[in-house]
Structure 1
Amino acid sequence: MKVLLIGIVVLAVYTDIGKADLCLSNKLEVLPQGILQEFLSIITKGIIQNFFGCPDNVKFNEHHVRLLLFTREYSNMPGLINKDDPTMDTSKPIKLLIPDWLCNVASDGMPDLKQAYLQAYDCNVIVVDWTKYSIDRYVNSFCFVPEIAKVLGKFLCYLHTQLRVPLNKIHLVGYGMGGQMAGLVGQETQKQCKIKLERITGLDPAGPLYQGLDKSRRLDESDAAFVDVIHTNGGYLGYNGPCGTVDFFVNCGTYQPGCIETGSGLTPQNLLALPVKMVSCSHLRALQYFTESINSDNFVATSCAGCPVVCLKDIIFATTTKMGEYLTKKPNREKYWCPTNSQPPYAKG
Structure 2
Amino acid sequence: MFLWQYLTLLLLTTVQICKAEECAEFTDLKLAHAIIGTSIRVRLLLYTKENATCGTLLSHSNLSAHPQFLLTRPTTFIVHGYRPSGSPPIWINPVRELLLERADLNVIVVDWNHGAANVNYMKAVENTRKTAANLTAFIQKMKNNGASLSSIHMIGVSLGAHISGFVGANFNGTIGRITALDPAGPLFTGKSEKDRLDLTDAQFVDALHTDIDALGFREPLGHIDFYANGGTDQPGCPRTIFSGGSYFKCDHQRSVLLFIDSLNRTCSSRAFPCDSYKDFLDGKCLKCDQFGSLGCPVFGYNVTQWKDILQKLGQTKTYFSTTAQSPFCKTNYMLEVMIWNKEERWGYLTVKLHGNGKEAVATIDHKESMFRKFTETKLLAQFDQDIQSVEKMSLKFSTNSVCEPKRKLRVLRARLTRLDGNEKRLCRYDVLLAENKEVIFKPLPCEDNNF
Deviation at 1:324, TM superposition (A): 0.4
- In the TM superposition, residue 341 of structure 1 has moved relative to its aligned partner by 1.2
1:229 and 2:245 equivalent?
no
CA distance in 1: counterparts of 2:72 and 2:33, whole angstroms: 43
Q: Which amino acid aligns with 1:277?
A: S
The reply to whether residue 8 of structure 1 matches residue 21 of structure 2 is yes
Residue deviations 1:107-149 (CA, integer Å, cap 9, x gap): 2211111111111112111011101100012110101111211
AA matched with 2:252: H
The alpha-carbon deviation at position 33 of structure 1 amounts to: 6.7
How far is the alpha carbon of 1:105 from its aligned partner? 8.9
Name the counterpart of 1:318.
287
Provide closer, same or farther for how the CA distance between residues 102 and 317 of structure 1 changes in structure 2, counting only shifts above 3 A: closer
The one-character-per-residue Cα deviations of 1:184-208 (angstroms, maximum 9, x if unpaired) are 1111222xxxx61110000001000
Report the count of equivalent residues.
295
Q: After superposition, what is the alpha-carbon deviation per residue over 1:63-110, rounded to whole angstroms, capped at 9, x for unaligned?
A: x21100011222222001112222311222211000110077942211
Taking the aligned partners of 2:98 and 2:223, their CA distance within structure 1 comes to 24
Q: Deviations over 1:151-206 (max 9, x none)?
A: 1112112212x22212332100000111111111111222xxxx611100000010
SS at match of 1:286: helix
Higher relative contact order (CA 8 A, sep 6+): 1
Change (3 A) 1:244 1:179: same
1:171 aligns with 2:153: yes
- Cα distance between partner residues in 1 of 2:283 and 2:167: 34
Query: Which of 49, 60, 78 does residue 97 from structure 1 map onto?
Result: 78
- Whichever residue aligns with residue 112 of structure 1, its letter is P
Q: Percent identity?
A: 28
SS at match of 2:217: coil
Q: 1:279 Cα shift?
A: 3.3
Question: What code does the residue aligned with 2:329 have?
Answer: A
2:113 corresponds to which residue?
A: 131
Aligned to 2:53: 76
Q: Which residues of structure 2 form unaligned runs of 5+?
A: 1-16, 289-295, 332-451
- Counterparts of residues 50-199 of structure 1 (less than 5 Å): 64-86=41-63, 87=66, 88-102=69-83, 106-136=88-118, 137-160=120-143, 162-190=144-172, 196-199=174-177
- Is it true that 1:274 corresponds to 2:243 in the alignment? yes
User: Which of 272, 280, 290 lines up with 1:302 in the alignment?
Assistant: 272
SS at match of 2:231: coil
Question: TM-score, normalising length from structure 1?
Answer: 0.77
Secondary structure of the 2:199 match is coil
Tell me the amino acid that sits aligned with residue 73 of structure 2. Answer: K
2:282 and 2:225 mapped to 1: Cα distance?
A: 13
Q: 1 or 2, which has the higher strand percentage?
A: 2
CA contact (8 A) 1:183 1:218 kept: yes
TM-score, normalization by structure 2: 0.60
Larger Rg: 2
* 8 Å contact kept, 1:68–1:128: yes
1:286 counterpart = 2:286: no
Q: Deviations over 1:248-282 (max 9, x none)?
A: 00000012001128xxxxxxxxx643374233111
Structure number having the greater helix percentage:
1
Q: What is the correspondence of 1:197-236 to structure 2 with a 5 Å cutoff? A: 197-236=175-214
Does the CA-based 8 Å contact 1:305-1:314 persist in structure 2?
A: no
- Partners of 2:166 and 2:107 lie apart in 1 by 20
Shift of 1:316: 5.5
Instruction: Extract unaligned runs of 5+ from structure 1.
Output: 23-29, 36-58, 262-270
> Once the 2 structures are TM-superposed, how far is the Cα of residue 318 of structure 1 from its aligned partner?
3.1
Partners of 1:34 and 1:212 lie apart in 2 by 30
Please identify, of 328-337 and 338-347, the stretch whose mean Cα deviation from structure 2 is larger.
Answer: 328-337
| Cα distance change, pair 113–303 in 1 and its aligned pair in 2 (3 A) | same
Instruction: Specify whether residues 133 and 32 from structure 1 end up closer, same or farther in structure 2 by C-alpha distance, changes over 3 A only.
Output: closer
Alpha-carbon distance in 2 for matches of 1:206, 1:33: 21
- Partners of 1:302 and 1:313 within 8 A in 2: no
Residues of 2 paired with 1:9 and 1:138: CA distance?
Answer: 33
Root-mean-square deviation over aligned CA pairs? 2.8
Q: Describe the SS at the equivalent of 1:300.
A: coil
User: Aligned to 1:255, what secondary structure does the other structure show?
Assistant: coil
Alignment of 1:255-266 (within 5 A): 255-260=233-238
- Return the letter of the residue paired with 1:90: L
1:23-75 deviation line (CA, Å, top 9, x unaligned): xxxxxxx996799xxxxxxxxxxxxxxxxxxxxxxx976xx211000112222
| Aligned-partner Cα distance in 2 for 1:272–1:311 | 30
